[in-house]
Amino acid sequence: MSIWTELTGVDFSLGMVDAAGVPTRSLRAGHGEPVVFLHGTSGHLEAFARNIPAHAPHYECHAIDLLGHGYTGKPDYPYEIPRYVEHLVNYLDAAGLRRVHLVGESLGGWVAARVAGEHPQRVRSLQLLAAGGMVANPEVMQRLKTSTTHAVHTDDIELTRRRLELLMYDAERDVSDELVEVRHRIYHQPEFVRNLPNLLCLQEMEVRQRNLLRPEQLELIKAPTLVIWGHQNPFGDVPEAQRLAEAIPNSELHLFGECGHWPQHEQHERYNTLSLEFLGATN
């Protein structure tokens, strides 16, 4: 199954939005209340190809490339969390989105949680999928930094495949040749290569520590929140998800079996059903 055939039958558009000077790649589909999907570190909007078709009949879907990622602009400064927050809010303003449902995976969840706490009037509900930002684990940080750097600086597509396989419980099932090709092309844009240190700055201990989600920040989140985590998440154990859910006042935790770091992709049927039920209950 191709990423783009996943969208067969969906009326969608793919274009660039000027988010206060940062050209931002955005896939839009559907009508209704807006739902904005945010991917993880070194990811891109195709991470939600298996979710847009299920959500578009009910919601106005926006899947975007985060600051410095995918085909979005790559300004030359370190991409710390306040920069991502500023960029996302600028995107919402540019797209005319006053209040949205946020869905964030990994880094996207980290950013979404900060936006929900700092701009509660903009967030109707929040979904955190294997969200980052709770801990600074040197081993995990080094694995992310090394695997991404090797894949970006070496023109060997198999290194990109291995970087993607790190994310999945069943890589043979969920890492397609097309997904590898999409990411390989993104990784080898000259601007992406040049700005990689900016993109990976959160894998540096000092930078990460000052950006971590603090309990007092999570307590500020007022939106109904869904926390989803894979039992086999290679970048964080289940207790991390439990601490995250416990720290957010109005949240519920769901654990997926046989699932790594991309629950929305690996367990898309279960995730889509759960997400639509959750979104429906928040209306």
* C-alpha–C-alpha distance, residues 257 and 232, integer Å: 7
Q: Give the pLDDT confidence of 71-119 residue by residue, as tens digits.
A: 999 999 999 999 999 999 999 999 999 999 999 999 999 999 999 999 9
Q: Give the pLDDT confidence of 146-181 residue by residue, as tens digits.
A: 999 999 999 899 999 999 999 999 999 999 999 999
Residue 79: which of 190, 166, 208 has the closest Cα?
A: 208
- Characterise 233 by phi-psi region: left (phi > 0), alpha (psi -120 to 50), beta (else): beta
What CATH number labels 3-281?
3.40.50.1820
Residue 42: which of 132, 115, 156, 103 has the closest Cα?
A: 132
Q: Give the pLDDT confidence of 199-214 residue by residue, as tens digits.
A: 999 999 999 999 999 9
Per-residue HEC secondary structure of 184-243 comes to HHHHCCHHHHHCHHHHCHHHCHHHHHHHCCCHHHHCCCCCCEEEEEECCCCCCCHHHHHH
Residue 133: which of 211, 42, 37, 41 has the closest Cα?
A: 211
Q: For residue 66, what is the DSSP state?
A: P
* C-alpha–C-alpha distance, residues 195 and 197, integer Å: 6
* C-alpha–C-alpha distance, residues 33 and 154, integer Å: 42
* CA R_g for the chain: 17
* pLDDT computed for residue 158 by the predictor: 95
Could you tell me the two tokens for 261?
């770091």
Q: How far is CA 245 from the centre of its chain?
A: 18
* pLDDT computed for residue 8 by the predictor: 86
